[in-house]
Structure 1
Amino acid sequence: MNDNTNSPSHSRCIDRRTVLSGLSGALVALAGCTDNPGTGSDTPANNTNPMTESPASQSGVFAGVRVAGSQLVVTLANDTSADWVRRFGPDGNLSEKAKVAPGGRETSFDLVGQSTDGYTPGTHRLVAVKNDETLGEITLDLEPEVTLTEFQWAKNHPDMEWDKSANNWETHAAFLLKNTGSGPAMLARTRWRNAPFVLRTDEDEQTFEHTKSLPPGETTAVYAIPPVYETSGGLVGASAVECENIDTKTLHLTAIVEPGSNPSYSQTIEYGGEEGACELTIVGSETTDQTSTTSNGSDT
């Protein structure tokens, strides 16, 4: 993978089957699929993607379960009068409960985002309850799987949604995160090392906070906060990069994802030109997956 791509790739159709088991022992398969392209905006998508119910799921206590953005949406059968749905995590302990409105059939759980502590990937159990009496239960797998698929330099991708009112817009970059799993995730932070903008400072690395939702079955475009390829000075505490004295440097980006693994990207950049007039050339790139993170946001 390299920067010589023409446009963000479309997220491919993903067939996820979540096994639901009721008290009767019946098994129900839910399949989800999307063909929405990755957008050129860093605004969270407002859609109700994966896990649309199959006809076979319209029986028993639970009519269906789906992931909509960062939420797990639960729909009860018409003849079910539950007042709560309880969610138990992979460890078997109660993680959260959601109120069902009187006469209502639907409730939801916030799985990722600023308003929640997140969730642990694995097999979860949902229990419908009325006056502390269990009416029925199902199990489902929530497993995010996020990879970094493309890294794009604004100079080479001028048709994307850059802020062209800025004089240095061509020094910015974007990257695509693709979630092929069955559960949502969130981009919490980006960590940069040896990027051109970092070389202007005395720091070894710089970290930026994000709250970008990564729904399953979607490819999400993330616009980097810093001007990644900026080599000139101009900011307090920053100086111009002496490109004429550098051979090559390898940029390292780590995307801190909660929960799930932390995909990383490395790009080798050749420096050249004269003082005050840097010339940057990309000569190689690589993506990898790093250690998994838990829902509390720790990373290694």
Structure 2
Amino acid sequence: MNDTTDPSSHDRRIGRRTVLTGLSGTLVALAGCTDNSETGDTPTNSTDTTTEPPAAQSDAFAGVSVDAGQLVVTLARDTSAGWVHRFGPDGDLAEKAKVAPDGREAQFDLVGQSVDGYTPGEHRLAAVKNDKSVGEVTLTLEPEVTLTNFRWAENYPDMEWDKSANNWETHAAFRLENTGSGPAMLTRTRWRNAPFVLRTDEDEQTFDHPKVLPPSETTTIYAIPPVYETSGGLVGASSVECGKIDTKTLHLEAIVEPGADSSFSQMIEYGGEEGACELTIVDSETTGSPQTASNGSGS
């Protein structure tokens, strides 16, 4: 079996909380007064690491960061405000967040299972006291998600598969890297011509698969169906007649909101016979990223 997958050490993992750097005049004070003094990296807690903080900070705000699917706004110690308002790229008020009792933090849920999401682009935050703005910042929230590799359990037995299942070797996982400045959400996966789909009368199968994709992180997604299963297991499914198939191209579409979807295709050569299939991966391709999928064969 050949392996063309990038080592896991290449994954960019920058911690749960990522400080947003200036992309659109970030942290510009309403009155035009800014503090240009340099500040060092200050982790939120012992497990957090951050990127460099914004170069220019307003008097009202101490920092803006993303923690998983949340936007976390920290006010300066001498700022007195009861609310933070978020205005979307269209300039309209999108959401209000109450400042915590300690008077320092406000949080916005940008993505999640019970959240409508947000519009990518430049957003404006205003610290508000008695219905008056005491300071503003602007920042860009723009997710950029790509599928970086695809792994077959048979070739990667040391990953966190559910080995209590007798078909665990037929499962697969893939990795989604968010190199943008805003979080995204994997909502569904759509499969066509995968071995498990060929066992049914359907052209494709879709699975709900909600998973937050924080910025500056690579997230491993374990596929729900047994992707490479050719016989047994699925209710109402038959075995794949491998002796009658030359090659088929598996297609995976990862539905992401907000932002562009990621796609993956893999040409599989079928051999053997029904009930004793032999699968060989001939070629793989991901949309918008280099080919990094694993090659291998197995039944």
Distance in structure 1 (CA, Å) of the matches to 2:197 and 2:82: 53
Distance in structure 2 (CA, Å) of the matches to 1:3 and 1:32: 41
Distance in structure 1 (CA, Å) of the matches to 2:6 and 2:178: 21
> 1:245 and 2:254 equivalent?
no
The 5-angstrom pairing of residues 113-132 of structure 1 reads 113-132=112-131
Deviations 1:48-87 (A, max 9, x none): 5655635853x50011100111110000011111000000
Which amino acid in the other structure matches residue 164 of structure 2? Answer: S
Which amino acid in the other structure matches residue 164 of structure 1? Answer: K
**Which residue number in structure 1 is paired with residue 53 of structure 2?**
53
Distance in structure 1 (CA, Å) of the matches to 2:98 and 2:164: 47
Residue pair 2:27, 2:54 contacting (<8 A) in 1 also: no
The match for 1:21 among 25, 28, 33 is 28
**Which residue number in structure 1 is paired with residue 167 of structure 2?**
168
| Identity across the alignment (%) | 72
Which amino acid in the other structure matches residue 218 of structure 1? Answer: E
Cα separation, partners in 2 of 1:196 and 1:188, compared to 1, 3 Å? same
- State the superposition RMSD in angstroms: 2.6
The 5-angstrom pairing of residues 97-112 of structure 1 reads 97-112=96-111
For 1:170, what is the secondary structure of its paired residue? helix
Residue pair 2:21, 2:54 contacting (<8 A) in 1 also: no
Cα separation, partners in 2 of 1:289 and 1:121, compared to 1, 3 Å? same
For 2:194, what is the secondary structure of its paired residue? coil
Residue pair 2:69, 2:110 contacting (<8 A) in 1 also: yes
**Which residue number in structure 1 is paired with residue 92 of structure 2?**
93
Cα separation, partners in 2 of 1:50 and 1:145, compared to 1, 3 Å? farther
Distance in structure 2 (CA, Å) of the matches to 1:120 and 1:93: 11
**Which residue number in structure 2 is paired with residue 43 of structure 1?**
none
User: How far did residue 164 of structure 1 move?
Assistant: 1.0
**Which residue number in structure 1 is paired with residue 264 of structure 2?**
265
**Which residue number in structure 2 is paired with residue 255 of structure 1?**
254
User: How far did residue 233 of structure 1 move?
Assistant: 3.2
**Which residue number in structure 1 is paired with residue 223 of structure 2?**
224
Distance in structure 2 (CA, Å) of the matches to 1:239 and 1:106: 56
Compute the TM-score of the two structures, normalised by the length of structure 2.
Answer: 0.85
Distance in structure 1 (CA, Å) of the matches to 2:125 and 2:20: 18
Distance in structure 1 (CA, Å) of the matches to 2:279 and 2:28: 56
Residue pair 1:32, 1:51 contacting (<8 A) in 2 also: no
For 2:287, what is the secondary structure of its paired residue? strand
For 1:155, what is the secondary structure of its paired residue? helix
Compute the TM-score of the two structures, normalised by the length of structure 1.
Answer: 0.85
Please, which runs of 5 or more residues in structure 2 have no aligned partner?
42-46, 290-299
For 2:80, what is the secondary structure of its paired residue? coil
The 5-angstrom pairing of residues 191-206 of structure 1 reads 191-206=190-205
For 1:238, what is the secondary structure of its paired residue? coil
Please, which runs of 5 or more residues in structure 1 have no aligned partner?
34-46, 291-300
